[in-house]
Structure 1
């Protein structure tokens, strides 16, 4: 436990000071497995003031997902914009997030179809990807998992009632940073239908005896190539037949 506490303290300090950690300095406190990385996540979150969401991802339609809580102070609406000085780097990804109208607890079936049918809203979101480690992305995956899966912030755009008939596996979309086209066309999600990630998170949460509060934001991974913004500008994303997001990097 002391090792997980040491790593969590280093990550929290890096977040607060906007400095980077040398992964080579962590030989004594690197997580031995995913369970230890998840312990570090919770210790970091406790220091940062609580949870407003989760990010969930999987590299393929059959791969096992992983997740991370999102600090409440780093989940906000697009009108707020983001400040470059708050991040070591500003990576941009366009995603879809979901939420439930009621608390997710033992009253909800663990059957995937029932979980998906209970979704209440869906939102166009952009994840700000950042890492507390020098040399990223060439960093041990367990360190990245401990570091809230490289989350910097989540910016929320248009939100609408959940549409179960929307094509979540291959939507048409566009994503720009100023005049730079990050992506335009039909996108493919690495996890296939990203809603399977929601069902997985609910099952994992219920298995551990916990719950997910109503309106917790659950974002499900990028539809677009990863792009690092190098200066101030305006980020614009559109998912056709769904909605938009627009925010400023100050």
Structure 2
């Protein structure tokens, strides 16, 4: 068994048993680079029932983005809520996701402006941040990337037609878990304009000869600080002038 296969097997076992991995026990399996981490992602995804979307992120307006697939079994409508017992931890982040009305393939230009103009919908979403490693967040970044970039689930809120004029770089947002205010105010997206992440993913996908199916959910990183929920409660988020999300942690 190769190191990538061994790491994928350990990550799948952690998901199946809801147990955490001692990061020290997989040091021999740390990916050598991002490409190896992406191979591990695909091995994990192949056993989880397919892909419903991607999370894409970048630490600054000039940083090279990274991405991870979202397992179809872990993308939910807000009405379904989430079960706390399904996660080792429940980190909450408020984001905007986008989608295309048609398959993204060689017919779509790789020019960023044309990719962005082809976006069809935008959604208010909350990412459930979780990790299969016990020492998280003090874990090698390449292990985190292999672990679907710490994705636990994605919860979908209001969806509307894409509005090119909406200020996605600095919207006014509010985010609460129960009575706890997580964030309130104008939020600056760490990647600058998050739509550049969509253009990057499309270019990367087309370069590899693959496509992105229509209505694939493409979420683009958090507007809010990470908040770890400690028990059941109602999560409420709003992006002013755009939409809301509300769901229960049970």
Q: Taking structure 1 as the reference length, what is the TM-score of the superposition? A: 0.99
- Within 5 A, what are the aligned runs for 1:67-106? 67-106=67-106
Equivalent-residue separation in structure 2 for 1:156 and 1:198 (angstroms): 18
Cα deviation, residue 27, structure 1: 2.2
- Count residues with an aligned counterpart: 250
Equivalent-residue separation in structure 1 for 2:226 and 2:151 (angstroms): 13
Q: Which runs of 4+ in 1 moved over 4 A?
A: none
Equivalent-residue separation in structure 2 for 1:139 and 1:3 (angstroms): 17
Q: Which residue does the alignment assign to 1:32?
A: 32
Equivalent-residue separation in structure 1 for 2:185 and 2:35 (angstroms): 38
SS at match of 1:64: coil
Q: Which residue does the alignment assign to 1:229?
A: 229
Does structure 1 residue 142 correspond to structure 2 residue 154? Answer: no
Q: Which residue does the alignment assign to 1:16?
A: 16
Q: Which residue does the alignment assign to 1:181?
A: 181
Equivalent-residue separation in structure 2 for 1:80 and 1:12 (angstroms): 24
Equivalent-residue separation in structure 2 for 1:29 and 1:125 (angstroms): 33
Structure 1 residues 130-169: Cα deviation after superposition (integer angstroms, max 9, x where no partner): 0000110000000000000000000000000000000000
Does structure 1 residue 244 correspond to structure 2 residue 244? Answer: yes
Does structure 1 residue 209 correspond to structure 2 residue 206? Answer: no
Cα deviation, residue 76, structure 1: 1.1
Equivalent-residue separation in structure 1 for 2:53 and 2:69 (angstroms): 6
Cα deviation, residue 92, structure 1: 0.1
Q: Which residue does the alignment assign to 2:63?
A: 63
Cα deviation, residue 28, structure 1: 2.0
Q: Which residue does the alignment assign to 2:151?
A: 151
Q: Taking structure 2 as the reference length, what is the TM-score of the superposition? A: 0.99
Equivalent-residue separation in structure 1 for 2:16 and 2:97 (angstroms): 27
Cα deviation, residue 234, structure 1: 0.2
Structure 1 residues 68-101: Cα deviation after superposition (integer angstroms, max 9, x where no partner): 0000000010000000000000000000000000
Equivalent-residue separation in structure 2 for 1:101 and 1:13 (angstroms): 35
Structure 2: unaligned runs, 5 residues or longer: none
Structure 1: unaligned runs, 5 residues or longer: none
Equivalent-residue separation in structure 1 for 2:162 and 2:76 (angstroms): 20
